[in-house]
């Protein structure tokens, strides 16, 4: 009999995000290997959703966390229907906390995939207050889990939340579906680099508070010969546009920052013309603002 795994995720493609792409790739690979893998996530059902993906509608967001009133009931029904051998919880994810309250869930081994600490510092006081409530339940999940997966030695070493759980944490780096890598295509004219640009920076990510895009924009606006292309969408787009206007270099009306909406894997591959990729991340569990690497 095939191993049955129920993944509790945050979202799922076509929703854009690193956790979401990884979950989809993992689910696809597990099913190729004969594992009966399913996913329960937030969101409205899509017409082409496979039967092993179930979405729970979200009523609103609270401190950047999706609130879905039906998630607890959906998790209980999924456990009863699928009868999983393993419950795979992808964190951070507030709805995964419902597993603590379900008798059916407590009879199954839990694996926690640790994608990131919730880091608040002084970026958002509302996140700091919310984490004070969330933290005891997060630690209860970690205590109850049979196995924890961290995605890099650096993340495990720097994670405050995992500090007490190193004895049951393994390092498994995130993978990528290389078979889905398409051939390059040309950039559209509006995203072509300027002829005078000496350093071409590309950054991709959700436009939200923990990415630290404002720091990257301020740095680029102070450096002649540098151009930045940001690919992404999010609630901070208006605020970031204001940062661009406020930090504009004197005598140069066009800001050296341009935007693109989310791209498919096919289009993203064409961005190899950049000098390097900048990963702004203000909320990693390390004192780090910018990672930069050449493709």
pLDDT digits (tens, 9 = 90+) for 94-104: 999 999 999 99
Q: Are residues 168 and 78 in the same domain?
A: yes
Residues with Cβ within 8 Å of residue 54, at least 6 apart in sequence: 38, 39, 40, 41, 45, 74, 78
CATH number of the domain bearing residue 244: 3.40.50.2000
Domain's final residue, options 152, 179, 206: 179
What is the Cα–Cα distance from 126 to 166, expressed in whole angstroms?
Answer: 29
Rounded to whole angstroms, the Cα distance separating 46 from 11 reads 12
Do residue 207 and residue 143 come from a single domain? no
Instruction: For residues 145 and 289, state if they share a domain.
Output: no
Q: What is the domain range of residue 118? A: 4-179
Number of domains in the chain: 2
pTM: 0.80
> Does residue 263 carry a pLDDT above 60?
no
Kindly report, residue by residue over 162-181, the tens digit of the pLDDT: 999 999 999 999 887 777 66
Single residue among 179, 209, 243 that ends a domain in this structure: 179
Write down which residue in 145, 179, 213 finishes a domain: 179
Q: Scan for tokens 């229907």, then name that residue.
A: 81
- How high does pLDDT run on average in the chain? 83
Residues 115-157: tens digit of each pLDDT: 988 866 555 667 778 888 889 999 999 999 999 999 999 889 9
Residues 133 and 223 in one domain: no
In the three-class reduction of DSSP (H, G, I as helix; E, B as strand; rest coil), residue 89 is classed as strand
Q: How far apart are CA 148 and CA 129, in angstroms?
A: 26
Residue 290: its pLDDT value, please? 44
């Amino acid at each position: 009999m095939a191993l049955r795994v129920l993944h509790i995720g945050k979202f799922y493609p076509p929703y854009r995000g690193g956790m979401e792409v990884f979950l989809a790739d993992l689910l696809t690979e597990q099913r190729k290997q004969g594992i009966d893998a399913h996913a329960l996530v937030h969101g409205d059902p899509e017409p082409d959703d496979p039967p092993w993906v179930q979405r729970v509608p979200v009523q609103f967001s609270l401190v950047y966390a999706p609130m879905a009133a039906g998630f607890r009931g959906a998790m209980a029904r999924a456990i009863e229907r699928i009868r999983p051998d393993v419950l795979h919880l992808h964190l951070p994810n507030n709805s995964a906390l419902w597993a603590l309250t379900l008798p059916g869930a407590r009879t199954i081994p839990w694996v926690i995939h640790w994608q990131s600490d919730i880091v608040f510092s002084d970026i958002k006081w509302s996140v700091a207050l919310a984490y004070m409530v969330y933290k005891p339940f997060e630690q209860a999940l970690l205590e109850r889990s049979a196995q924890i997966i961290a995605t890099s030695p650096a993340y495990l070493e720097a994670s405050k939340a995992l500090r007490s759980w190193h004895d049951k944490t393994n390092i498994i780096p995130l993978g990528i579906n290389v078979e889905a890598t398409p051939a390059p295509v040309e950039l559209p004219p509006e995203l072509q680099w300027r002829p005078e640009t000496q350093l071409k920076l590309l950054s991709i990510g959700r436009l939200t508070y923990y990415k630290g895009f404002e720091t990257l924009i301020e740095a680029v606006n102070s450096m002649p010969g540098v151009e930045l292309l940001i690919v992404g969408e999010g609630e901070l787009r208006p605020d970031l546009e204001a940062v661009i206007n406020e930090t504009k270099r004197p005598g140069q009306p066009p800001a050296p920052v341009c935007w693109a909406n989310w791209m498919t894997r096919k289009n993203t591959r064409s961005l190899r013309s950049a000098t390097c990729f900048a990963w702004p991340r203000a909320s990693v569990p390390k004192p780090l603002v910018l990672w930069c690497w050449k493709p």
